Structure 1
Amino acid sequence: MTASVVSHPPIAARRGAARARTWWGKAWVRALEEAAYAETDLRRGRSLSRAGAVGGISLTAGQVVAAVADDRGLHTVDARLPVLTPESRATLVEVVAAEAGRIGSLLAGDLPHSLVEHADEAGVELLPFGTELETTCTCVGWLDPCPHALAVLSQVAWLVDDDPLVLLHLRGLPRDELLAGLHARTAVSYTSDGGEETDADLDTALDAAARAARILELLDGDADARVDHLF
């Protein structure tokens, strides 16, 4: 497996209750809450994350790296999550392909309950738990995760919240590898009468997801235009 690194720019300050909205984002938050040693660390981490103190986030399979600034300087956080084995990644591809619409849902920013449940039944755990999250930080604190690490993990929850493929990437199955696996699985299959089936269903799902994203983009742009017109 080749390392695929995705860099996310710094997230602007978020005021108020900027917590996870989706059920899978909340599952990530529960994991970091389980990993924390004290409520005060959690509050400090959330405060740093909402204040925009976290720099750009570099994300690859099993690892998140980011810098966090506070009144004592700049600190580098390295957070790790176990990746799936090659066998488990192959099983996950099969689970995604097992039900029509799952890949379209993932590309549209949704993580179906049934996908996670079926993956779990097949021995593949997607959602993290507290003891899986390991962190190091260059600050002088002796506890891991420290507030800086919790700040980074809090922002990762926002990224996972917006795009469940971030979670799959962290588990070792980036988007391109997932799509390649689905194409390889469905590229040439044989029907009971000896005919061939192509990957038309997958292409249709990809096209539908792209169209949906474009429609949302146009709607957002139209809404902005109406607001500008009013003022």
Structure 2
Amino acid sequence: MSSVLHPRLAPRRSTARASTWWGKAWVRAIEEAAYAESDLVASRTLARGGHVGQISTEPGRFVASVEDRRGLWTVAGGIPVLEDAAVSALVETVAAESGRVAALLAGELPFTLVEHAEEAGVELLPYGGELSSTCTCDHWTDPCTHALAVLQQLTWLVEADPFVLLQLRGLPRDELLGRLHARTEPVEDADVDLDAAVEAALYAARLLGDAEPLG
């Protein structure tokens, strides 16, 4: 199972919780999962202060360390991966419009992609009850402030690269692009086949310096 170790995120002065529509949806899930508003406030302070270490992500799981005045703690969390049928449906949804591949590679998550995926029975964005976590601290709430801090920083990672969300859901970038390449049918309403569309998107991403695989 491939994992990705993301660079440590620098402290942020901005108090904005999210800047994209999908980031705001992720934040809503965090808020649904939290036990109290005070936990959310403390977690935002930790996240913005740069107290979260490098976050490792893989299908269904994320891990990171968090430091506060009491010590250094290890957080392990999870999000349910999609079943095989749902993964196939998601691939079909991405393939339905050639521009969706280019959008993902450019760091955008098209609203229509998520909307059409939901119509196909695929819930891509999580809700609060799907966010699980454990922490080495002795806090009695679940998720604790340390886990919430990691989730807050995951918001920024997911906003910058929607492939992080897809990987957590069980469809890493390389697998998605590989399955798109393997398709032989032309994209609906397109003059070029899907292979050509994916190649063009990859080429454009390389020109933008955004072609490094995420695992």
The sequence identity of aligned pairs, in percent, is: 61
Gaps of 5+ in 1: 191-196, 216-231
Asked if 1 retains the 8 angstrom alpha-carbon contact of 2:98 and 2:194, the reply is no
TM-score using structure 1 length: 0.85
Instruction: Provide, for residues 158-203 of structure 1, a one-character-per-residue CA deviation record: whole Å limited to 9, x for no partner.
Output: 00011111100100000000000100113xx48xxxxxx6722221
Structure 1 stretches (4+) deviating beyond 4 angstroms? none
| Equivalent-residue separation in structure 1 for 2:114 and 2:13 (angstroms) | 31
Instruction: Provide, for residues 106-126 of structure 1, a one-character-per-residue CA deviation record: whole Å limited to 9, x for no partner.
Output: 000001111001100000110
1:204 counterpart residue number: 200
Q: Which protein shows a greater Rg?
A: 1
Asked if 2 retains the 8 angstrom alpha-carbon contact of 1:18 and 1:50, the reply is no
Q: Does 1:112 align with 2:110?
A: yes
1:225 counterpart residue number: none
Name the count of aligned residue pairs. 204
| Equivalent-residue separation in structure 2 for 1:151 and 1:18 (angstroms) | 14
Instruction: Provide, for residues 74-130 of structure 1, a one-character-per-residue CA deviation record: whole Å limited to 9, x for no partner.
Output: 111011100001111111111000012100000000011110011000001100100
Matched AA of 1:144: D
**Structure 1 counterpart SS, 2:124:** coil
Matched AA of 2:143: P
Asked if 1 retains the 8 angstrom alpha-carbon contact of 2:93 and 2:113, the reply is yes
Matched AA of 2:197: D
2:70 counterpart residue number: 72
**Structure 1 counterpart SS, 2:98:** coil
Asked if 2 retains the 8 angstrom alpha-carbon contact of 1:65 and 1:78, the reply is yes
Matched AA of 2:172: P
Asked if 2 retains the 8 angstrom alpha-carbon contact of 1:20 and 1:157, the reply is yes
| Equivalent-residue separation in structure 2 for 1:201 and 1:39 (angstroms) | 46
**Structure 1 counterpart SS, 2:93:** helix
| Equivalent-residue separation in structure 2 for 1:60 and 1:200 (angstroms) | 29
Q: Which has the higher helix share?
A: 1
1:46 counterpart residue number: 44
Instruction: Provide, for residues 130-179 of structure 1, a one-character-per-residue CA deviation record: whole Å limited to 9, x for no partner.
Output: 00001111101011010000000000000001111110010000000000
What pairs up with 1:214-225 in 2 under 5 angstroms?
A: 214=209
| Equivalent-residue separation in structure 1 for 2:171 and 2:183 (angstroms) | 15
Gaps of 5+ in 2: 187-192, 211-215
